[in-house]
Every structure is written in structure tokens, then in C-alpha cells.
Structure 1
């Protein structure tokens, strides 16, 4: 067996509800070709579109609905924040997907009619489907941090979705003076890319240190008592950025009581941070609005799925992939979304074209940059057991590893990213 996190071809390539459809056995409308409509052009949606249109040899008509002209790879944006990537290297056109045979519809989906099996677009058009895949990502809970709001996201940027917010955060970071104060408000679980807030702190410190601003301070206010790769991050912070990054657990900070976007002030139960030079608010999250409005999320705010196929437990003709899905033990990451898309593609070929499908194989790998050549890694495999996706094995970088190994992990991360985006967008 390949080690956990090994990169395979499968891993790489691989509104409101207008009427609620009853839970029923799936069937295919009589058409020359079954039609798959995908809403959401992120890592999960594009992975699924590419896999189905390629591996079905044209046997399934694939339509991707995505309002943005370019895709911004947020999952690598921390590296750009730290100066290790050019921000423009995170931007991709959907032109290659269209050349591969995917019908790309540059419009926003406004509603799903589950009885008619149609997606309504903002301009009034309707797209019929035999199967619908939703990959809407996450939405932010703007009311989860007292005093913060959608209107305040420029003053206290989240940079958790979209190119514009990333550019805003980077501009604010570039303006932090030597001796300045940065406050990061981390999100509660579950959230997109769980280690990312701590990689972000690392890359902020890297950018500050590399530009002679080593007296700046980064405070992380966390609602969680622990975080992923905590020992590795804290060891790295002490080695590379002594005195620059301080993580505060909720029993120390006593929680964020309020923020004031006008003054840059953050009030906790323990201390008030007045006039911070940069406040990065990463709020609580839930499934993207389209999935919630379609009635596909449960009380958790996430979408329950059948573990073998990632079909919605509420409507089996709809597949949920990526961050919006409650995928058991799998985290919400670009790697996981790509992997889930391969499972869904195989299930669709089996169901719609009577092709053979192996048992689903789930995997995730997450690389986190602490410094330029200090990258750590966690890899896991998962299997369906007891009605859910459960972790079966895992690998985690160890404390005190040699520098050359950590440097090789950076090269591995770069290779994964290059292969992923080449396979999806070229």
C-alpha cells in the first residue's frame, strides 16, 4: 500500500427551494445523454467536471455553472501572503475546461427546483439535469464575532474567500510598521482548512521578518483549546520567529468580547488590544448559501451525505462535494475536495453508464509552511465504516526533523499544486 498522502492520478484528476423533492430512488430521464450540472467552479467542482467529461468519453454531458471569470486558489494564498508565491500564480481561467468539452455557463445559480430537476439562473434561464453536483464551498457567519459584519470586512479583512479579500489583507500586512500589532481571530470548528490560520500567522511573520520588521507582534485569539499540528507550529515559531507570535487559548483570553472596526480595537475577557495595525477576523463558517437555501443542510449548517457516493441524504439526485459536505472525519480542504470529486465521478459513471466502480477510497494531505524551507505535512486515509467516513491511518511530520526533509516537503507541496492546477485548468 502506498503511504498515506501519496499522490495518485485519481487524487490529482482524481437560492431557495422551489419545490422539495421526496427522498426516492434515483432514475435517469430519457435523453440522448444523461446531463450532469455542477454548481461551483472551485477545486471540487472543476475536478468533477474534468473527471466526468474525460473518463466518460463524452457519454455524460457536463455543464459547470460559475459566475466568476477566474478562479483564485485561496488554498495557496498564505504562501503568497508570505512572499513565497506570486499572487498571480493563483489565478486561472476556465477556458481550458471549455476546450475539454465542459459547457461553462458564466452565471450565478439562484435556485434549485428539485421536482423539475432544474437549476434556475439569475438571468431567468433554467438548466435541466439528471444529476446535480453542488460544490458551493463555505459561507461566513458575519454575526459570529461581536462588532464585526459584512460591512466591516475591508477594515478587518477575513481573506478566507476570494481574490479581493486576499489583496486587501496583503495590502494591510504590507503597511504594518516595525513594532506594529496584528491580531488574528481564529474560527471555531469546523472550518475550511483547519491548519490555515496558523500557517497564515507563520507566513505573516515570515513577511515581516524578511522586510526588517521583526519587532512586530502577532496575537492569535483562538476559541479552540488546541489546533492542528500545534506542537510543530509552536516549535517552528520559536525557531524562526522568537517572540513574534503568541497563541492564546480561550481559557487564557477568556474569549473575544467585541471588535471595533473603526479603531482597530479587540476586546477580550483578559485584555483589550487597542488600535491594532491589522485585525484578521476569520469567523465561524457553514455550507455555501445555495446548498442551505436548497434545504440540503441540516441543523449543523453542513450537508449530510451518503458516505459511499456523497449523494445528499435529503435528495439522492444531488451530490455534495468539497467544503459544504459533512464528510465524516475528512477535513475541508482542496485536496479532499479533489479526492471526493474522483469518488463522485466513479459513482456517476457506474450509475449513469453502467460502468464498474471500485469501493470509494478517500484521502487527504495537508502541507503547512512555517518558513520558506520548513514545511510540515499531515496525510490520512479514510474508509466507509458504520455509516460514515472514518479515518483509518494517518501520517504526521515529527518534531526535530532535519532541515533537508522539511525542504523536500516544500518541493512536494509545490509539485502537488502544479500537477493539480495543470490537470484541472490546462
Structure 2
């Protein structure tokens, strides 16, 4: 053992415990500064010439040095390009990462299983002779390794290895914490972007409505005059203009609905109506020769809800189902009742056999301004549909799998 290392086990233990306390006191708001500070303290405590924190990079299938202490051996390591360890090249660091078994060797310079660049003397190699390596785990899964090296033989003790294992557990915890902070930051940024987009679009929607109302009134007046005068050719043109106007008006209303939901101003005009009649009417309006809509359910389902808002949900679900159905296949609508939570619930299922929704899109499908690749809208229809369902104390969910198609399930309490 090197004579510079403390011989008294009690003194060594106290020194390592003191260092451990200092490391645990490091502020861990940002990962890299915390790792750098920890590497410096570990190097001082172990009198190691090199301390590395390496994390695994999936894209390159490599362990790479995230942080290291400042030392000549660390500088030599970077200069020789030995700050990255491809898994395919093996070596002791990779072995510890893959197996989880800690490693200590006082003569790694004689170890054929170690990478030549690590054990070869300088200037051709890094010149490590003694080495200890432990695995860093995050929530029980391998995240990287923590290693210390010296150019002197038999430099590290079993106590040093135990110390390094304790530090590695702490590094796993702060790596997980940093990941959570980064995720929360990204989510907050995304919410901020959505909020900014919603505010901008709300202002635009209010302004557009102010322009659309007199324009729609003017077009409808011209339409009535042309119809009365029998101007068939011009009538078709004005009808096309009105159709576009109505679509734009619906878009503006959806944008305003988003604002009303956010501001708690979304009002419902509840009344009792037969949901089956509404479904039948919508099926007739949206069915096509290639994609008919078939409805299976009782003759009457009484709902105490806002009929305009429920129609908005059903229209969105049926229109989407017809648009994305496989060629020459029907859209199937099933309606049923269920006794639950002391009351009766109505379930309306809308199913098609089209291409399934990707798992990446499925996760965010009901968020505002999220639309599929083939969608021509701005991504508000399903968001509003779910929020309307929630406003009625109901739910709207989706399942989509290869071979079984896509199914949207609207569940509403039936209150008469």
C-alpha cells in the first residue's frame, strides 16, 4: 500500500465519512456542477489521480465521462480520447456497468481484460495501475459508473471501495432528481407555449368574430335575393362562400370555447332529450356510400345534458371515424347502459377499422392544438370534446391497436 495513504483505519474512516457528509451537503439543483464538485471531493479524499463519473449514452452505446476531477491523468485521458468507452470494446468499466459487480485491482497494468489505453504507461496511455470502479444505478437500473485511478500499485483499500459505492448510490439519486426537474421544466415550458398560443388565438378569434358576423349577415341576404331572383349559377357560388363562412365560424367558436374553459365561463344549457334520436340524425348526416354509420342500441336513451354540446362531441367523433375508416368498412356505434356509483351511466362507443393511432400521438391526443398527420384542423376538436364530457361529469377515452381498430368511448351519467 502507498505510504501516503493513512495507515490507521480509524483515521481513514473518519476522513471518508467527513468527505461523505460534505458530498451529501452539495446543492443538487443542477446535475453537472454537483457531479464536478463531487468528483473533486472524492479525488481529495482518496488521494486519487483521476476520478470519473461516466453515464451511459443509448444513441452511441457508450459510457462517456460526464465529469472528472482536475488532474494531469484526467487531462491525459481527454487528450488520448479515452473519455468514452464503447460497450463493444469491453474493458473493466463496461464490465462493472453490465454486471453491477464492483471492481478493485492494485495492478490493473497487468490486467489483460482492461483496455490497453487505460493501463499503458504515458505518454502512449493513461497510466492507471490501481483502479476501483462501482456502478451507478437510477431506480434500480444501470445509469453509469464511478471510477477512481492511481498510477501507484495497491493504492486503494476495501474501505475506499465501500466509500465509492455509497457515493454512487447518492449519484443515482441526484441523477433521477435532475431528470425529474428537467421533465418538469420541459412541461412548464410546454404549458407556457400552449398558454401563449391560446391567448393569441383567443384575441384573434374575438376580432374575427367581429368581422364575420356582419359578413355572414350580408352573404345570407345576398343568398336569399339570388334564390328569389332564380340566379342559379351565382347561387352556387354564394352557397360555396357561405359553406366556407360557416366552417370558419365553427372554428372561431371552438377557439372561444377554449378561452371559456380556461376562464371558467363555459356554461351548459341542460335539458332532457333522447340521445338516440340525436345519434340517428348525425349518422344520416355524416354517413357516406363508402363508409356507412351503423348504430346498435335501444330506441330511447334519455340524457339530462346540454344537447348542443353533446352534439358537438358526437359530430366530432363520427366525422373523425368516417374520415379515418378503412376503405369500404362501416363505422360502428354501440349504445348501452350500466348501473354504477348509485346511478345509471350511458356508454356511447364509436369504432372504426382504420389505421391505428400512433402511440406517440395517443399520449397527447386530447391536449389542445394536437393534430394527427392527416388532420386538416388545428387540433381542438377532441380536446373540447373531452372537456365537454368532463363538464357533464362524464369521460371520453380512446383505445387504438393494430388489428382491432380505434374506439372512442363517451360515458355520461343518465339523469332524468
TM tier, shorter chain? under 0.3
Which has a greater percent of strand? 1
Tell me: higher relative CO, structure 1 or 2? Use CA pairs within 8 A at least 6 residues apart.
1
Considering only CA atoms, is the larger Rg found in Structure 1 or Structure 2? 2
Which has a greater percent of helix? 2
Q: TM-score, normalised by structure 2?
A: 0.20
Q: TM-score, normalised by structure 1?
A: 0.19
